[in-house]
Amino acid sequence: FFMFKAKVSLATMLGVYFGAVTNTPGLGATQEALKMMEYTGEDIAVAYACAYPLAVVAIIATAIVLRIVFRIDLKGEDRQWEEAQKANNEAPIFFHARITNPALEGRTIHQVRDFVGRPFICSRVLHNGVITSPSAETVLHTGDVLRIVSAEENKEPVVAFCGKEDKEIDLVLESSPITSRTIRITKPKVNGLTVHDLHLSKYDGVNITRIFRAGLTLFPYNNLHLQLGDRVYCVGPERAVARLAETLGNQEKKLYHPNLVSIFLGIVVGIIFGSLPIAIPGLPVPLKLGLAGGPLIIAILLAYYGPNLRLITYTTESANLMLRELGIALFLASVGLNAGKPFVEALGNGEGVLYAFLGLFITIIPLLIVGTIARKKYKMNYHAMIGMMAGATTDPPTLAYAGTLSEKNSSVIAYSTVYPLAMFLRILSGQFVLLILWQYV
């Protein structure tokens, strides 16, 4: 600002700034603050309109430059992200433990769990040459072989307590009346229930050993809330597994219909939340998260707490993609219609070129610095890095570009993590700058 003070006013520079970071809600908040200060100068939306279009292109171009500089292998980044997700998620493993500990003779599986103090699932038991699917009250004997499913960190204490690991047998491959099956949760009444609420003891020896959700493998803790669309891996007698499948639904076609109620409920509540004024002492006008920040924060809260409240938040992948693409298209069309005329006029009188140049500087330099640090020092995944850059600049088009590079959710996760805070700080920053620098104008 001080370098170009003679040519560009503080208010206009803020317009350039919000265009450079593609943040319309921040522009609106700053315009309201200027009205409160009785500002009568040039409309800052003109500077915004000049900086915005090139900023959208510059953010994506910066991502491409970083990709070339660091010689990014997109498929390799996908593999690394999957491995990191599995490591962080602690996907359950299976192993076989042979009971040689005489203290376990005549004890039930429930008692063994209490003794070990570690959660595990026993999906099969080999006793006297017969394989069965046990329940919590199944009595164990010395010489029995147990097929255990647990988190990897619990393997050593479970094996040590039982006696020893048996690596020469696989009870899945042995001839037995036990079957395994993956069941899809499609009944709305199951949404939000915990694994404990299913009362598996009523299903004659059925055990849930794994739950698959959004590409992740989860251990079926008793307090884990089930969600519509989850895939449940079950082991047990065939008829009992069929009964459980009927309880959970397992009717794929029921998931083809998008759940519009939750979507529009989230939008309505988000709009109301975004319009609530947030009064901060010292600021001339209350802050508002607006139509962008409000729905996003409410959507994140509904996704996390919705199943606990028995609210169905599942949406088909096709509906999700359609709404996402439609929203981005409408957003860009709205910005284009508002920015077209002042953009052309500013370019005609020469000021627009200066605004665009300053905007490019504000856009590119911070992204190059942050991107380099994220990759070199923190070894951040490239897809997550683009999502972070898109969230920091509150730029949906960059997120859409990231979606063309990978089918994984790494960019979306990083974007949704950074976006709410970035949006709030963008809205806040313009008004803070006005308060601090207005005396120097």
According to the model, what pLDDT value does residue 175 have? 59
CA distance 420 to 415: 9
Q: Residue 331 in 3-state DSSP?
A: helix
Parallel/antiparallel/unpaired status of strands 207-213 and 145-150: unpaired
**Helices 44-69 & 317-348, crossing angle to 10 degrees?**
120
Residue 176 has pLDDT above 80, yes or no: no
Structure-token pair, residue 344: 């052309």
Distance of alpha carbon 273 from alpha carbon 134, whole angstroms: 50
Enter the DSSP assignment of 140. Answer: P
Give CA–CA dist 273/287, Å, rounded: 12
Q: Write the pLDDT tens digit of every residue in 377-391.
A: 999 999 999 999 999
Residues contacting residue 206 through CB under 8 Å, at least 6 positions apart: 133, 200, 234, 235, 236, 237, 240, 241, 243, 244
Kindly tell me if the per-residue pLDDT of 16 is higher than 90: yes
Helix H or strand E encompassing 246: helix 238-248
Enter the tokens of residue 401.
Answer: 């570009």
Which tops the pLDDT comparison, 174 or 429? Answer: 429
pLDDT at residue 35 in the model: 81
Q: So what's the pLDDT on residue 77? A: 93
Q: Please tell me the distance from the alpha carbon of residue 432 to that of residue 320, in angstroms, as a whole number.
A: 37
Element (H, E) at 437: helix 410-437
pLDDT of amino acid 300: 79
Residue 377 identity (one-letter amino acid): K
For the chain, the structural domain boundaries read 10-84+323-440
Q: What angle do CA 363, 364, 369 make, to 5 degrees?
A: 115
Q: How confident is the model at residue 315, as a pLDDT?
A: 79
The dihedrals phi and psi of 186, each to the nearest 5 degrees, come to -125, -5
Q: Is 383 helix (H, G, I), strand (E, B) or coil?
A: helix
Specify the pTM: 0.65
pLDDT of residue 183: 95
Residue 99 carries which DSSP code?
E
Angle of helix 382-392 relative to helix 351-376, nearest 10 degrees?
A: 140
In the block, tokens 């069965």 appear at 132
Under the banding of pLDDT at 50, 70 and 90, the label for residue 72 is very high
DSSP 182-232: EEEB--GGGTT-BTGGG-GGGGSS-EEEEEEETTEEE---TTPBP-TT-EE
Q: Any idea which residue has 């204490």 for tokens?
A: 157
394 neighbors 423 (Cβ within 8 angstroms): yes
User: Which helix (H) or strand (E) element contains residue 123?
Assistant: strand 121-127
**Do residues 152 and 85 lie in contact, with contact meaning Cβ atoms separated by under 8 Å?**
no
Query: So what's the pLDDT on residue 262?
Result: 81
- State the average pLDDT for the chain: 85
Asked if residue 19 lies in contact with residue 52, where contact means CB atoms within 8 angstroms, the answer is yes
Tokens of 157: 């204490």
Q: Is the pLDDT of residue 117 over 60?
A: yes
